[in-house]
Amino acid sequence: MENLVLQALSGLASASSLFLVAAGLTVIFGVSRIVNFAHGSFYMLGAYLAWTLVTTLPRGHLGFWGGVVAAALATGLIGLVVEVLLLRRIYRAPELFQLLATFGVVLIVQDLALLTWGAQDLLGPRAPGLRGGTEILGLRFPDYELFLIVVGPVVLGLLLLLFHRTRWGTLVRAATLDREMVGALGVNQRMLFTSVFFLGSVLAGLGGALQLPRESVNLHMDLSIITEAFVVVVVGGLGSLGGAALAALLIGELHAFGILVLPKITLVLVFLVMALVLVVRPHGLLGKAPGPAHGGAGSAEPVIGPAPRPLLWLGAAALATAVLLPLLAGDYALSVLTEFAIFVLFAASLHLIMGPGGMASFGHAAYFGLGAYGAALAAKWLAAPMLLGLAAAPFAAGLFGLLFGWFCVRLSGVYSAMLTLAFAQIAWSVAFQWVEVTGGDNGILGVWPDSWAAPKLVYYYLTLALCLGATLLLRRVIHAPFGFALRAQRDSALRAEAIGIDAFRTRWLAFALAAVMAGIAGGLFAYAKGSVFPTFLGIPRSVDALLMVLLGGVQTLSGPIIGALAYTGLQEQLVRLTDLWRLILGGIIVALVLFFPQGLAGAARARWEASRGDA
Amino acid sequence: MTGWVIGRRQVLAGAGAALAAPVLGRAQGAPIRIGEINSYTAQPAFLQPYRYGWTMAVEQVNAAGGVNGRSLETLHRDDAGKPEDAVRLAGELVNAEKVALLSGGFLSNVGLAIADYANQNRMLYVASEPLTDALVWSRGNRYTFRLRASTYMQSAMLVEEAAKLPAKRWATVAPNYEYGQSAVRWFKELLTRARPDVTFVAEQFPALGRIDAGATVQALAATNPEAIFNVTFGADLTNFVRQGLTRGLFERRRVVSLLTGEPEYLDPLQDEAPENWIVTGYPWDQVNTPEHAAFREAYRRRWNDTPRLGSVVGHDTVMAIAAMLKQTSAVETEAMVDAMAGLKFGSVFGPVEFRAIDHQSTMGAFVGRTVLKNGRGTMADWRYADGRDYLPPDDVVRALRPQS
């Protein structure tokens, strides 16, 4: 019994820390609709800055608590700079595009932190006055954890006061409900957005700084917190502070008690919780259905027309290059080109649901990975020849696409995207933990092509034929009646239903089709690499796909193709050239976002239309 | 567009290499190229000292006239912790850069991916860091060799000490991935064999890098074990130790802990390093054999820093490769593989052999207990456990490793 009470207290302490980070994220999202990937980076910066300040300032209460507060404020200032220089310029860009920009910031911060603070983990001093423990029911419990348990509710209370008792808070709540209306009433939106971003960053920095007496400060803090913070925000309901507190509590306690029963559940627990909550409550615990903020009647996305003649010529030239150039290329160039072809299809498959479908996915790698595992498992357990393995890939991916899609397409916006992430993480943890079948994180080895396809050139042409065929098929689908129906339900579900389009079925089938196509890409990837690992369906790969589509431009058909080539090509070159590739890649992404807020292909189209005068 | 640019670069590079290679290959003094792949951006804390050790060793070999008149040259690549990227980079190093052999690897799955590539493409792969037993046993192949003492070996070293303790009720805590799971499995199996009277009352598997230390410590304490086997390392270890100390988890309990004596993991704990844990590690300040003293001094002069275990591993990987190159009849894969099998070379820790039976080196580790000295953790009562004494009998190894 005593043990259970202490376990509950431990859960409360974790919940409190989690809430601080999630609160900042949810406030920022509520007002600006930005999916702020860099929030974890601010958390990490808060911890590093606090370490520097606390270890330089004189020891004692003032040095420690002053250092923590100063670190939080400094993090807020960094957030302010990012908002003014970067995000403010792209609020009008298509939805989720800001995610790309914040991801660039993540990459830059990772390298800058490494350069500034070095690779070794740093240990901060313990909090003065809270070093020891207190006896609770005969067991010892750390004082600092008790302090954290208090901090969470206090911060929540202060935030609620701020939002409900000040004019600024009222404006923020108004903007959360209806941005346009607040703007129309003459409120300076810029100031509002900037100040909210500052507040959110301060909270992230405070969350990081307060970890100093608990945890070591290290370079993995950013990515390890960001997904969990997002889960808390979404489970609680986007933009809802009370919801975030409730969700943090739920996850903290479930985790504390979950490990007593199932120690290995640590990997997947938060995602199981999220999947369950979202299936039962599509807008989170305390979230409200979003108003017609985005995509209301009359705000249809640009119509996709037939490709203009020069684009056709360009496509033909690219195709000729893709077919003829490899005859002269070396083995390594061939394997890179093979990857390009695979990622083009992968990005195009995501584009089908993101562009024409109007549904974002944060977990598209699931179907890529399931395809790869489908092929590898067939090869390993059934000794299937390569072609059979390649056929198993889209089958496996499509099956799970139908299953997961059935739940995901009922939701909308970020909720739907986060549910895809939850399913992807569940699939990932199965691949990771079911060691007997999947080999766990050591993966499945020896998935090499049959001897006829073993030469790199043959395998390249096989990949090119399949990927090109599939990509062209996707293009055809978008121009077919099914594609029109898909775009119709995106622009106005209500009108689409009125003319007899079954919006749910259309979205569901599109989701499954995208999964099948990603599965083809995954199967080809498995044989190209010779091995399959859980990383194939991990979050970083999903993010890669998202970045490719966003970089190319969501609103054009050639966008994902160009985005895939640009992103993979850049990364491949930079990794070979420099150890600081993250810094440079991040910088390039930020620059591209600033100069081409509609993506590369979107910018090209805008220029083309402007020159023809028919924009 | 991008694809075309890269293609052209590769064509030129490939053509250049094809034209140049036969001539250069015969010329005296053309460098021998080593392709080295590691998770530099994903695991910088361990791999920066590793890279320093590696670079210093290459400089030493080259200053001494190289190998048979040819200098060594290394091409380092960052796989960012992704095995699929490591495979691509292996292809780049082999096909575009024409390296003679592959080396590196820190994460087990990256090591396995490179090993499988090496097997498929008949390239020598000298794995430095990855600890997984699969690399030389269940997934072992002709072309792969591994320097560091494996999970099994280090677990076996600790079991020897654990069996001497009076403790009968044990709990385990390990990161939730292959390394943690294997270490716990071996520890349980070997300890139960040595001491049939022990029982395991709890096990915790926090997610790697995301330990919820408070809850984990409390869950372990609730089962009231007499001793704890710890496999967490890095940030997880720090958080675990801090929560464990304030909650009194380690009082009146013995802790046996993998890798915790390595400066990589002990140094960040500063004056909060736990005392009297039985650990494997590397007491760099106290090992005064002539080989090690010379290495420590050279390292200090070159980098103005103290060596970590990663420095030794990087250094000795190069030394092993150089020793092999001196013995091989030609810089050609099959000859090099033959030279690696059974290769003996002088490591910083003393003589080491790459066993012909499973391609595992006999490099050992230091076993001792942790103490606080001058406000930082270090090891005391340590001894060097030679790896050859902690490997299973040959017939067991043959059963574990595919024989073909």
Q: What is the DSSP string of B201-225?
A: EEEE-PPTT---HHHHHHHHHHT--
| Nearest alpha carbon to residue A583 among A44, A115, A237 | A115
- Nearest residue on chain B to A220, judged by CA atoms? B209
Q: What is the pLDDT of residues A182-231, one digit of tens each?
A: 888 888 888 889 999 999 999 999 999 999 998 899 999 998 899 899 99
Assigned domain for B268 exists: yes
| Residue contact B112–A531, C-beta within 8 A | yes
Last residue of a domain, one of A225, A247, A267: A225
> Structural domain tally of chain B?
2
Tokens matching residue A353: 């649901």
Assigned domain for B404 exists: no
B7 and B107 share a domain?
yes
Assigned domain for A230 exists: no
Last residue of a domain, one of A484, A512, A541: A541
B125 and B234 share a domain?
no
Distance from the Cα of B219 to chain A's closest Cα (Å) equals 6
Interface test with B, best of A126, A531, A571 (most B CBs within 10 A): A531
| Residue contact A220–B209, C-beta within 8 A | yes
Assigned domain for A166 exists: yes
Assigned domain for B228 exists: yes
For residue B93, give the DSSP letter.
I
Assigned domain for A536 exists: yes
Per the CB < 8 A criterion, the answer to whether A557 and A487 are in contact is no
> Structural domain tally of chain A?
2
Residues A293-330 as b/e (b if ≥16 CB within 10 A, e otherwise) read: eebeeeeeeeebeeeeeebeeeeeebeeebeebbeebb
Q: Which residue ranges in chain A fall short of pLDDT 70?
A: 290-300, 613-615
- Nearest residue on chain A to B7, judged by CA atoms? A333
Assigned domain for A559 exists: no
pLDDT (0 to 100) of residue A296: 41
Chain B environment of A527 (Cβ under 8 Å)? none
B232 and B335 share a domain?
no
Provide the domain limits for residue B344.
2-150+289-363
Q: How big is the CA angle at A480 (ends A475 and A485), to the nearest 5 degrees? A: 110
| Residue contact B113–A445, C-beta within 8 A | yes
| Nearest alpha carbon to residue A556 among A187, A241, A242, A302 | A302
Last residue of a domain, one of A178, A207, A225: A225
Backbone conformation region of residue B211, classed left if phi is above 0, alpha if psi is from -120 to 50, else beta: beta
Assigned domain for A23 exists: yes
Distance from the Cα of B257 to chain A's closest Cα (Å) equals 19
| Residue contact B243–A142, C-beta within 8 A | yes
| Residue contact A142–B247, C-beta within 8 A | yes
Assigned domain for A176 exists: yes
Kindly indicate whether the ipTM for this predicted assembly is greater than 0.90, answering yes or no. no
CATH number, domain at B197? 3.40.50.2300
B257 and B269 share a domain?
yes
B42 and B118 share a domain?
yes
pLDDT (0 to 100) of residue B23: 39
- Nearest residue on chain B to A11, judged by CA atoms? B215
A41 and A178 share a domain?
yes
Provide the domain limits for residue A91.
2-225
Chain A environment of B272 (Cβ under 8 Å)? 123
B329 and B227 share a domain?
no
Chain B environment of A228 (Cβ under 8 Å)? 210
B131 and B42 share a domain?
yes
pTM, whole model, 2 decimals?
0.90
> What is the C-alpha to C-alpha distance for residues B313 and B363, in angstroms, rounded to an integer?
10
Burial class (CB in 10 A: 0-12, 13-18, 19+), A396: buried
Assigned domain for B236 exists: yes
B27 and B142 share a domain?
yes
A416 membership: H or E segment, kind and range: helix A413-433
| Residue contact A266–B206, C-beta within 8 A | yes
B321 and B274 share a domain?
no
Contact residues, A window 173-202, toward B, CB-based 8 Å cutoff: none
User: How many CB contacts within 8 angstroms connect chain A with chain B?
Assistant: 242
> What is the C-alpha to C-alpha distance for residues A122 and A212, in angstroms, rounded to an integer?
9
B225 and B374 share a domain?
yes
Assigned domain for B280 exists: yes
Assigned domain for B187 exists: yes
Radius of gyration of chain A (CA): 25
In sequence order, the 6+-apart residues with CB closer than 8 A to the CB of B94 are A332, B35, B102, B121, B123
Chain B environment of A260 (Cβ under 8 Å)? 219, 222
Assigned domain for A415 exists: yes
B204 and B316 share a domain?
no
| Residue contact A582–B108, C-beta within 8 A | no
Q: What is the pLDDT of residues A343-364, one digit of tens each?
A: 999 999 999 999 899 888 999 9
- Nearest residue on chain B to A525, judged by CA atoms? B84
| Among the partner residues A132, A218, A219, nearest to B246 by beta-carbon distance | A132
Chain A environment of B217 (Cβ under 8 Å)? 10
Chain B environment of A3 (Cβ under 8 Å)? 218, 221-222
B253 and B382 share a domain?
yes
Chain A environment of B45 (Cβ under 8 Å)? 119-121, 218-219
| Residue contact B84–A525, C-beta within 8 A | yes
| Residue contact B92–A330, C-beta within 8 A | no
pLDDT by residue for chain B (404 residues), tens only, comes to 333 334 444 444 444 444 444 433 333 578 999 999 999 988 888 899 999 999 999 999 999 999 988 999 999 999 988 999 999 999 999 999 999 999 999 998 999 999 999 999 999 999 999 999 999 999 999 999 999 999 999 999 999 999 999 999 999 999 998 899 999 999 999 999 999 999 999 999 999 888 999 999 999 999 999 999 999 998 899 999 999 999 999 999 999 999 999 999 999 998 999 999 999 999 999 999 999 999 999 999 999 999 999 999 999 999 999 999 999 988 999 999 999 999 999 999 999 999 999 999 999 999 999 999 998 999 999 999 999 999 999 999 999 998 76
